[in-house]
Amino acid sequence: MIEIDVDGAADPRALRNALGRFATGVTVITTRGPDGRREGLTANSFAALSLSPALVLWSLGLKAKSLAGFVAAGRFAVHVLRSSQTDLSHRFATPAPDKFAGLEVVDGAGGVPLLPGVLARFECRIERTVEAGDHLLFIGLVERLAYDDGEPLIFSAGQYSTPRFLRVASSQDDLEAVWGGLG
């Protein structure tokens, strides 16, 4: 185990290495700016924030070119990717003039582009933004959601992976303790 005293300012590579040990799902966040431009990016900073009201959050770097568009749009959609959608993850993680070119998307509320075939989708109105460090946190009120069964795409230690579900006798007990049986 590598141990580093951080004191508020860590070596960025060491911090990324340590944070990478926390496996996350992979999402694509989309919006349509006031000028009509579709914006999209791959993010693993997505998290549930509240069940009542239904709030989710994600973050975007303050230097990101798409930041102004996301802020001005007032809404966004979070698409949770399937294990078979590494191509979408890569597409939206790579700079391109039009990341939506050739994709069959439909418009959600406010014209936000919605991607087909994803594992789950949350259409949100921006409830609040909070500047924290070198990122802006977007807190979204979920206005519509959709989900399907399937295997999620996971990102861990700089690599894509898929889950290996474990058979643990207490998993139902854990679900009820954490989420109040809402599973």
Residue 20 has pLDDT above 70, yes or no: yes
Distance in angstroms (rounded) separating the CA atoms of residues 14 and 10: 7
- With respect to residue 1, please indicate whether it lies within any of the assigned structural domains: no
- With respect to residue 3, please indicate whether it lies within any of the assigned structural domains: no
pLDDT in tens, 83-125: 999 999 999 999 999 999 999 999 999 999 999 999 999 999 9
- With respect to residue 142, please indicate whether it lies within any of the assigned structural domains: yes
Match 């698409």 to its residue by tokens: 79
pLDDT of residue 157: 85
- With respect to residue 127, please indicate whether it lies within any of the assigned structural domains: yes
- With respect to residue 116, please indicate whether it lies within any of the assigned structural domains: yes
Residue 8 has pLDDT above 80, yes or no: no
The runs of H, that is alpha helices, within the chain are 12-19, 67-73, 86-93, 171-179
- With respect to residue 7, please indicate whether it lies within any of the assigned structural domains: no
Angle at 90 (CA atoms; ends 88, 95), nearest 5 degrees? 110
Upper half-sphere CA count for residue 86 (Cβ side, 13 Å): 8
Number of domains in the chain: 1
Average per-residue pLDDT for the chain: 90
- With respect to residue 88, please indicate whether it lies within any of the assigned structural domains: yes
The whole model's pTM is what?
Answer: 0.86
* 115: Cα separation from own chain's centroid: 14
Structural domain harbouring 41: 12-179
Instruction: Give the CATH number, domain containing residue 172.
Output: 2.30.110.10
